[in-house]
Structure 1
């Protein structure tokens, strides 16, 4: 209790020292030790920086083998830590939705503001405490360690073996360039999800390129929706030309897009986010039609 009280008081005060010293004062010992191990402490003590600082609990959520691998590879560790650091002073009042900030790792991080639940995220990680002021910048506390994305949405889909059918359909529908746009959310059906449609439906889609394009576009939302921004009974408009909507639902800890359960969420891409789902989504106007197997 005493530690929590001290931390709470620190959040409301102007903390002395540089950003590393502010991290030490906030009690995030894991981050501080890793910053020191990576040899970044001195560099962060000079210049002006904003740090998105994962909590001790955030590091504990990482797979043990990944954390061990980073701890044993100073260069990889330094790159991940630099991905949490932006040059200059960025306060909460400076944040805007879909803003992208250049990090010391050479890649951008994306800010999102979800007004319905007053959440602000950076690469999908919730910012739980803002504006811890240092002599040379600001620290914001986040609840998840951010890992640099491994390419665009198309790269993410291409790199996932369970999304091979989706990738082939995207290519067939000439949608690769559309998925290279910025600030997109893709609900990505697995190969098993496509198999559930059955051979008749898959053959119908193969014979009708325009229908295939509309179905695929129905899985794309033209803004970034991380898990922190999704809520029960939310309706999100999609990229297809009829602007059909997907209904978001929550049941316990599970999240659904229509009847598609999210089985892997918040896969960050350089141009948005991917959520892997277990069903192919079909606009309401197509359900029950001959195209989808009605006799």
Structure 2
């Protein structure tokens, strides 16, 4: 009778399935399972204890065609990308904490953020919402995520340096001696594009760049001392920038399809970097408490 009870428990609870078997049985992860098979990872994931952050089929459908093609044509790249969704050992939701960085199976870090407040209540990993937690299997745990994670290749300064559309911002950051500050951990940069700076008059540019204190005040007004992915933002949220004289206020427009920080539209959101996140904006942000630019 004891043996029959154990068999019944396995059938009823699906806990006797491995993580891969559970993914197969679920039905929402056909793309993930096919990629795991293609990359030769089925045996690995079935013969150890792992936590998997599992993107659904809908998550893979969000990937652009070029990224999909690259993954499907390069098995080494595919394997590395899949292992960025895996942690060795059991990591339940109860182990999560805000700004926790965890080392994934490919050796790169991913950041957990917990946004729990009146305007929102979500948990993300690298900005991707964890929509379901703690699906137990015989050799680990599965957490469901709504997007495919791509590992960051550098920090904020590396990203700004490598983006030609942010060359004006980079030159001003260097001029203001803020590169070290932007290499700190858990930061959000609202990065004005070159086009955003071009909207300022020459007199405004001269006023900002001609005074070291003003330049630093404007630039640090674009940096928040916590990781703020768009999934955690809410209407009329006040964020505290490194320039602590004033807050940044978040606005959602067009039925929540667009995000603005003050008067600046976020044109490229959620660019994950090793020390936080970058959002590209279309206006230069000016502190209200010290209106440097008219």
Q: TM-score range by the shorter chain?
A: over 0.9
* 8 A contact 1:16–1:22 mirrored in 2: no
Deviation, 1:204, is: 1.3
Deviation, 1:197, is: 1.3
- Residues in 2 aligned to 1:113 and 1:166: alpha-carbon distance in whole angstroms: 30
| 1:58 equivalenced with 2:62 (yes/no) | no
Deviation, 1:93, is: 1.2
Q: Which residue of 2 aligns with 1:22?
A: 22
* 8 A contact 1:125–1:143 mirrored in 2: yes
* 8 A contact 2:250–2:259 mirrored in 1: yes
* Count of residue pairs brought into register by the alignment: 278
TM-score by length of 2: 0.92
1:24-75 Cα deviation digits (max 9, x unpaired):
1221110000001001111111221100000000101101121011111000
Q: Which residue of 1 aligns with 2:277?
A: 273
- Pick aligned residue for 1:259 from 263, 271, 294: 263
Deviation, 1:76, is: 0.3
What is the SS of the residue equivalent to 1:131?
strand
1:108-149 Cα deviation digits (max 9, x unpaired):
110000102220100000001110101111000000000011
- Residues in 2 aligned to 1:275 and 1:13: alpha-carbon distance in whole angstroms: 43
Q: Which residue of 1 aligns with 2:252?
A: 250
Unaligned stretches of 5+ residues in structure 2: 1-11
Q: Which residue of 1 aligns with 2:165?
A: 162
- Residues in 2 aligned to 1:166 and 1:37: alpha-carbon distance in whole angstroms: 42
| 1:182 equivalenced with 2:185 (yes/no) | yes
Deviation, 1:14, is: 4.8
- Residues in 2 aligned to 1:75 and 1:200: alpha-carbon distance in whole angstroms: 52
* 8 A contact 1:214–1:241 mirrored in 2: no
Root mean square deviation of aligned Cα: 1.2
Unaligned stretches of 5+ residues in structure 1: 1-11
* 8 A contact 1:49–1:85 mirrored in 2: yes
* 8 A contact 1:220–1:238 mirrored in 2: yes
- Residues in 1 aligned to 2:286 and 2:14: alpha-carbon distance in whole angstroms: 52
1:177-197 Cα deviation digits (max 9, x unpaired):
000000000000001111111
- Residues in 2 aligned to 1:239 and 1:206: alpha-carbon distance in whole angstroms: 19
